[in-house]
Structure 1
Amino acid sequence: MLRNRLAELLAERDLKISRVAAQLPNLSRNTITATASNTGKMIQLETVDTLCQFLHIEPTDFFEYLPFNIDFDITITKNDAFFTDVTRDTVHLRDEDIKFDIYIKVNNVSTQSKIFEYLGSNGNGFVGTDIPILLTRDENESAGFADFWHKKITPGFRSIVWDQLKNNLAQAISESLNEKLAYEDVSFSLSPKNLILDTDFKSDLLNVDDFGELPF
């Protein structure tokens, strides 16, 4: 896993992205924002070069690296969501109407993958509003992901992995809802922001390990 540390570097210097963009005419504010949030799939070498010169740092200071990747495999095992009336305006989700198995895979090209198994379910909620999602460690698992999360994943990467997990969950639940409640005039695209995720390694409810806001 590789990420840039631009957000921290700017925060350390009390610099806002708008000011940096004003001083670097060859870089747009959108480019700097996307770079700082680590949302892009690639970053131009010219961008890295310009920012390193501006911040008076080496490329080794700009990037952070962990020798593994993390992937999520999600299988929906139950979906009892239903429309509350014939107009199909509202989808109702009772407690544990959606259940799923999730495997957290820690991959390294030179070693065997580590796999952490969790069971997931929803609390009471409606599609289109916040939906509580609980992940619990499978009872047959001798060790959960929490220890690896706190000891092996740095705070900056935790934010990225957490967003990746929520994106994967939102996509899996959306696809299941579209399959379960298939109508020509209805489609679901659940946003990760709609999910209030609670796990044994981090929780949206407690705001544990929040990475903080970008310095806009």
Structure 2
Amino acid sequence: MLRNRLQEILNERGLKNARVAQDIPELSRNVLDEIVNNNDTAIPFATVNLLCRYLNIKPADFFEYLPFDVTVSVNTDVDFYCADNFCTEINDGLLPVNENFQIPAFYLNLYVVKQSGTSITGLTKRVFELSAVMEAPLKLLPHPESDLSDNLFQPSQDIDFYIVLGDPLHEVTAIERREFFAFWNETLTPGFREELMNQIQSTISSYIHAHLLTLPGIDWSQCALHITYEFDKKVDPIITSAPRLIEKVNTPDPD
């Protein structure tokens, strides 16, 4: 894993992107924003040279490296869960309405894979399982600009997930807990930990957009996604006893 530390360096010095872009005419504000956001942008040597000279740092100060890669995924092999009392076929589509007008609580299985080495030197892989839990049902209300006959609804609240360690249906062992917290708190630097949280946010957001926000009859425009990290939080039994948004399928085994 390789990332640039430009955001931290600018924060330490109280510098804003606009000021840096103004002080370095050869560097556009858009390019600077991409670098600051670590958007996997290829950074030319000339740009690194400009920034190192401006900030009076060395390239080794500009970059941060860990000898492994980390990826995040949600298992998407199983279609979006839809129960008879939850969705009703209307006009060849699925409209998520029942007598309570709500989407029941559910959780997603997340897989964080740490991998080092190459096919030549030998790969070492460790899989950490997390779960993203939507604890409260997502209540749907008739859209204020329509009536029930229009079959148009909107969420009454934002989508709130919290991240827990492991699968809520299974007890996390002491060894698994120690390994994960050693990885999260000790192996990852603060910068890489924030980057991993951004990966988790993006992965959940992409999945929700693909599977939940495509349901017809719901206006999601005023609904935001919030994620909090509570690894040791106990999950409500109601959630674990209800069908999940996705089914648990083959979890990749560590090598």
After superposition, give the CA deviation of every residue in 1:154-212 in whole Å (9 maximum; x if it has no partner).
00111111000111111123323267x3x4x77979x9x613233328xxxxxxxxxxx
After superposition, give the CA deviation of every residue in 1:108-128 in whole Å (9 maximum; x if it has no partner).
124410111233431225467
How far has the Cα of 1:55 moved from its partner? Answer: 1.0
The answer on 1:194 being equivalent to 2:225 is yes
Matches within 5 A, 1:82-121: 82=86, 92-94=102-104, 96=105, 98-110=106-118, 111-121=123-133
Letter in 2 for 1:99: Y
Q: In 2, distance between residues paired with 1:104 and 1:158?
A: 12
Equivalent residue of 2:176, what SS? coil
Partner of 1:165: 200
Partner of 1:17: 17
TM-score (norm 2): 0.64
Equivalent residue of 2:67, what SS? coil
Q: In 2, distance between residues paired with 1:149 and 1:197?
A: 15
Identity %: 31
The answer on 1:28 being equivalent to 2:28 is yes
Structure 2's unaligned 5+ residue stretches are 139-154, 233-255
Q: In 2, distance between residues paired with 1:133 and 1:80?
A: 22
Given the alignment, which residue of 133, 140, 143 partners 2:176? 143
After superposition, give the CA deviation of every residue in 1:93-136 in whole Å (9 maximum; x if it has no partner).
33x3x232222110112441011123343122546723233423
The answer on 1:133 being equivalent to 2:177 is no
Larger radius of gyration: 2
Letter in 2 for 1:133: Y
Pairs aligned (count): 195
Partner of 2:144: none
* Alignment RMSD (CA, Å): 3.5
Letter in 1 for 2:38: N
Question: Which region of structure 1 is more displaced relative to structure 2, 120-129 or 32-41?
Answer: 120-129
Letter in 1 for 2:102: H
TM-score (norm 1): 0.74
Q: In 2, distance between residues paired with 1:15 and 1:119?
A: 37
